[in-house]
A = this chain, B = another copy of it.
Amino acid sequence: MFEARLGSTTLLKKIVDALKEILSQSTLDCSASGIQLQAMDNSHVSLVAMSLSRECFERYRCDRNVSLGLDLKSLMKVLKCASGDDAVTISAADKADKLQLRFESAGNERTADYELRLLNLEQDHLAIPETDYACIVHMPSTEFARICRDLATFSESVVIACSKDGIKFSASGELGSANITLSETSKGDVSLQVEEPVTLCFAGRYLNSFTRATSLADKVKIGLAADVPLLVEYPIEDHGYIRYYLAPKVDDPD
């Protein structure tokens, strides 16, 4: 028996919305410690890892490990049937072929029960090595989203250059070129930890798809190191996260 209850559906909507941007189907691995998800995106270029520890939930019970294969667009359709402030309980019997979702309104005068068909999905468990990033940047998540969106106007490739002076995002193409520089601010909304300067080039459309998680967190953490995948991490409240990994482009951008 697996059962997990959140006081408001809004958080779950934001998480699934972020995931479904790059995954069509995926498996939630539920254990006594919480819920994990790890998968390559649909085009097998980037990797996403999500973790929600049991502390994220109002009530959490997981008698034995279960893997819940889900079509994320279908799950989103069901979640859209809930008001943001409905409490949501998701549950599944052992070896179930259905996920149960129950939405309850504040005064309990409305109960909505949904069943969603579970899928048997093959899983590719990938080891993500711990990395010492040469540069770690914390910045407002909305600013990162805006930069990724703006640079997409100019080129498919985005160059990120980070040094003690700041982090610079660049793109150049037919239309012209763009250079956006953020420096560490006294307000503290941009912070840089730089061991050595790094300049790397990434495919902008993946960066853009990661920013679908923007509503989950005020700040985003970016980790950069030479020849290692970029890390883009959005914390989920105090006990969870969505992390995206994207390998640098090897050919020089121009």
Contact = CB atoms under 8 A, between A and B. Distances in A.
A174 B117 CA distance: 8
A183 interface: yes
A175 B117 contact: yes
B114 A176 contact: yes
A179 B111 CA distance: 8
Contacts of A177: 114-115
Interface residues of A, number: 32
Contacts of A123: none
Interface in A99-127: 107, 109-117
Contacts of A176: 74, 78, 98, 114-117
A81 interface: yes
B74 A175 contact: yes
A196 interface: no
A178 interface: yes
A112 B180 contact: yes
A182 interface: yes
A150 interface: yes
A77 B178 CA distance: 11
Given A81-B153, A107-B185, A112 B74 contact: no
Nearest to A184: B109
A181 interface: yes
A179 B112 contact: yes
A187 interface: yes
A79 to B, nearest CB: 11
8 contacts: A77-B153, A81-B150, A110-B182, A114-B178, A115-B176, A115-B178, A116-B176, A117-B176
Given A81-B178, A112-B180, A115-B176, 17 more contacts: A74-B176, A77-B153, A78-B153, A78-B175, A78-B178, A80-B153, A81-B150, A81-B153, A109-B182, A109-B183, A109-B185, A110-B143, A111-B181, A113-B178, A113-B179, A116-B176, A117-B174
